[in-house]
């Protein structure tokens, strides 16, 4: 599933420098040096999310990231004078760091809460992923304020800023966001069928014919819907592995509705017929049962035994196939993320 990704943070330091600057360029250079610590911690966090399955390790890197933001906030707040009394840009940065800490501390907690219930329904999963998108969008907006403030400061002091020079880590962060977004889009398509199939399995277990038919119809519709969406999704950097895994899963779910469910419905309907016949014959004394009734009931016993064997065989076959496709999708997803998100 989709993981929380963060934008490259700007302007962080764990060191303390002189608070007076001889030139505005020196001031901006000082500001630029502040980027390294948080940028590195942000990348460690993103990299850990992509390559680690340890929740403890992921949370530890998040806490280190928060500490780096707090340190930066303290150090930059100590620049009381800004540049020769001009504190506008400094205040923008301080506000940005304050909001960044809130987002990563508090908004992250909301995301964790949503994650805990995300697999209970498609709506919950969609809300979970949407929350991550909203967090990143907010980070984008706050980062844009810093960019605007930097340009305004440069114009005020006739400084020429070099555009388009991304740091190596910044490029990795942008790449990671793209990879996670691609994976999330495909996961939602896959999950919509997966959660519906789980509901279908519960209906089968409960022998609820109406729920079986309803969930089967929904599963068929979602599979068709997903297969249509896949036609418009292009491979990521010529890697179609996750698209293909999603397609195979949806085709397997569609096969369930075409082959397994008719057999299941037929079995339950016949089983109802058998149970009614059983009740009727058991109501009669043995002496009152006719030869035709006994022969008919014995034939039903033979038929129900055959259908039970077939029912178990069909369900076992499809359960195993679905499990294989789910495992295949999860493995392909992990391999896709590991392949496209750098681990250095």
Q: Closest Cα to residue 191, out of 275, 125, 254?
A: 125
Check if the beta carbon of residue 303 is closer than 8 Å to that of residue 270.
Answer: yes
In this structure, the number of other CB atoms found within 10 A of the CB of residue 26 comes to: 14
Q: How many CA atoms lie within 13 A of 69 on its CB side?
A: 23
| 8: exposed, middle or buried (Cβ count in 10 Å: 0-12, 13-18, 19+) | buried
User: Distance between CA atoms of 106 and 102, rounded to whole angstroms?
Assistant: 5
Domain boundaries, the chain: 24-164, 191-340
pTM above 0.85, yes or no: no
Q: Which of 16-20, 126-130, 189-193, 228-232 has the lowest mean pLDDT?
A: 16-20
Q: Quick one: residue 184, left, alpha or beta (phi over 0 = left, psi -120 to 50 = alpha)?
A: alpha
pLDDT tens digit string along 127-184? 888 888 888 888 888 888 988 998 999 999 999 887 544 467 777 778 888 998 999 9
How long is the chain? Answer: 344
Q: Are 66 and 32 in contact (CB under 8 A)?
A: no
pLDDT at position 72 is 86
User: Is the pLDDT score of 260 beyond 50?
Assistant: yes
Task: Tell me if 11 sits within 8 A of 146, measured CB to CB.
Answer: yes
86 bridge partner residues: 83
- Whether the Cβ atoms of residue 28 and residue 154 lie closer than 8 Å to each other: yes
Distance of CA 203 to the CA centre of its chain: 26
């Amino acid at each position: 599933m989709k993981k929380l990704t963060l934008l490259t943070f700007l302007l962080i330091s764990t060191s303390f420098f002189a608070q007076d600057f001889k030139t505005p360029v020196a001031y901006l250079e000082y500001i630029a040096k502040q980027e390294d610590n948080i940028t590195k911690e942000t990348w460690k966090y993103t990299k850990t999310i992509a390559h680690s399955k340890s929740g403890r390790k992921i949370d530890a890197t998040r806490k280190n990231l928060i500490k780096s933001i707090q340190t930066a906030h303290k150090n930059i707040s100590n620049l009381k004078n800004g540049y020769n009394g001009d504190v506008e840009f400094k205040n923008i940065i301080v506000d940005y760091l304050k909001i960044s800490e809130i987002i990563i501390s508090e908004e992250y907690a909301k995301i964790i809460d949503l994650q805990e219930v995300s697999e209970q329904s498609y709506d919950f999963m969609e809300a979970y992923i949407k929350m991550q998108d909203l967090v990143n969008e907010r980070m984008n907006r706050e980062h844009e304020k810093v960019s605007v403030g930097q340009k305004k400061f440069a114009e005020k002091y006739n400084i020429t800023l070099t555009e388009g020079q991304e740091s190596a880590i910044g490029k990795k962060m942008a790449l990671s966001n793209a990879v996670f977004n691609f994976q999330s889009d495909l996961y939602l398509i896959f999950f919509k069928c997966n959660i519906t199939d789980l509901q279908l399995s519960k209906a089968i277990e409960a022998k609820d014919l109406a729920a079986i038919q309803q969930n089967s119809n929904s599963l068929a519709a979602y599979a068709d819907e997903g297969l249509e969406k896949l036609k418009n999704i292009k491979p990521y950097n010529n890697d179609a592995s996750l698209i293909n895994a999603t397609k195979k899963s949806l085709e397997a779910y569609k096969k369930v509705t075409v082959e397994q469910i008719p057999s299941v419905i037929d079995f339950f309907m016949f089983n109802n017929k058998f149970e009614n016949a059983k009740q009727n014959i058991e109501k009669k004394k043995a002496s009152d049962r006719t030869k035709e009734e006994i022969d008919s009931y014995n034939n039903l016993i033979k038929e129900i035994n055959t259908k039970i064997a077939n029912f178990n065989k069909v369900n076992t076959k499809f359960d195993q196939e679905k499990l294989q496709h789910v495992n295949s999708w999860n493995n392909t997803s992990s391999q896709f993320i590991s392949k496209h998100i750098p681990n250095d």
